[in-house]
Amino acid sequence: MANTKWQFFAAKALSGQRLTLEEGLSVLEADNDEVLLIMNAAFTVRRHFYGKKVKLNMIINAKSGLCPEDCGYCSQSIVSTAPVSKYTMLDKETLVAGAREAMARKAGTYCIVAAGKGPTEKELNQVVDAVKEIRETMPLKICACLGILKEDQAERLAEAGVHRYNHNLNTSKANYPSITTTHTYDQRVETVEKVKMHGMSPCSGVIIGMGETHQEIVEMAFALRELDADSIPINFLNAIPGTPLEHAGRTSSMKALKVLALFRLVCPSKEIRVAGGREVNLRTLQPLSLYAANSLFVGDYLTTAGQEVSADHQIIEDLGFEIELNAL
């Protein structure tokens, strides 16, 4: 009977119908004995849209530790005492070298990420110059994540050849003031809409484990469906000593799988990426995540270490899945 219920959710997703709030909650609150059946339902949807292909993404931390924002989860924020590297925007040569490393790791998308409220003109120029050279010399897709954009900045990035722009919602609208006070949830939404308007693919996701309720997790999935984000990174908080959220507990591996399944069922055709914190939250269950997600970050994150790239390649091979090269 339970399997019929989860497969009904899969059929509903494939027909274009959105799960109800109650149905979404039932995924998150299901007994752990149901997890494999839930993942099977998620895989029914994932396989329909993406087969067994896995998209790989690589991040470069293009500017570190100098952020004026007060985001409680971030080691680079102004309120953090975590010992992180501090440097201004990397030069063009270093950003281009990072793209070559992404190619070596079989990543199809190279993500240029800089902490801050938004880029200065000098910083934007450095990114634009690097993007142009990468586009001319490598078959990579490029994603930029530089904070809140002005209209002309979005236009310049699109003209330079940026394929995708990331600006995460991070948490629910109701939970937002408890996470940061230096910008608003609505400003995040406005930036994603601006990105879409200028022809870049919108990427926006969440961080699970920041005090949100189950209902708020479902609401986040609904918000991203409404926003029509093409790519949805699902991060699981990696609580860093020295940040306001340093004492937050980890998300259990089984709950993390249910969250990934929920986002697949609510946003069936979208790229669902298991992102930051997967190593410390999913732990040995990481391979199961790819039955719902179809995308991974490979290598290190912004200020935390990922696992060996060879381990990710091995997971994909052992599952009988395949890397989708040069995929957006």
Q: Please tell me the distance from the alpha carbon of residue 140 to that of residue 143, in angstroms, as a whole number.
A: 10
Catalytic residue (one of 46, 156, 203, 267): 203
Q: Per the residue annotation, which of 67, 156, 188, 278 is the catalytic one?
A: 67
**Sign of the CA dihedral running 32, 35, 36, 38:** positive
283 marked among binding-site residues: no
267 in a labelled binding site? no
Choose, from 46, 156, 188, 273, the residue flagged as catalytic. Answer: 273
Residue pair 170/208 in contact by the 8 Å Cβ criterion:
no
SS3 130: helix
* Domain total of the chain: 1
Angle at 144 between CA 72 and CA 221, to 5 degrees: 55
Q: Which of 46, 71, 156, 264 is catalytic?
A: 71
74 a catalytic residue = yes
pLDDT in tens, the chain (328 residues): 567 999 999 999 999 999 999 999 999 999 999 999 999 999 999 999 999 999 999 999 999 877 888 888 888 888 888 888 888 999 999 999 999 999 999 999 999 999 888 999 999 999 999 999 999 999 999 999 999 999 999 999 999 999 999 999 999 999 999 999 999 999 999 999 999 999 999 999 999 999 999 999 999 999 999 999 999 999 999 988 899 888 898 999 999 999 999 999 999 999 999 999 999 999 999 999 999 999 999 887 777 778 889 999 999 999 999 999 866 6
145 is in an annotated binding site: no
Q: Is residue 144 part of a domain?
A: yes
Whether 273 is catalytic is yes
Residue 2 within any structural domain of the chain: no
Q: Is position 69 within any domain?
A: yes
Whether 145 is catalytic: no
267 assigned to active site: no
| 166 found inside a domain | yes
In a domain, 242, yes or no: yes
**The two three-digit tokens of residue 69, written as one number:** 């924002």
Domain ranges, residue 264 = 20-323
Which amino acid is present at 204? S
Which CATH number characterizes residue 32's domain?
Answer: 3.20.20.70
pTM greater than the 0.85 cutoff: yes
Q: Please name the amino acid found at residue 107.
A: A
Q: Which helix (H) or strand (E) holds 274?
A: strand 271-274
Q: Which of 46, 111, 156, 264 is catalytic?
A: 111
Q: At CA 79, angle to CA 77 and CA 83, rounded to 5?
A: 70
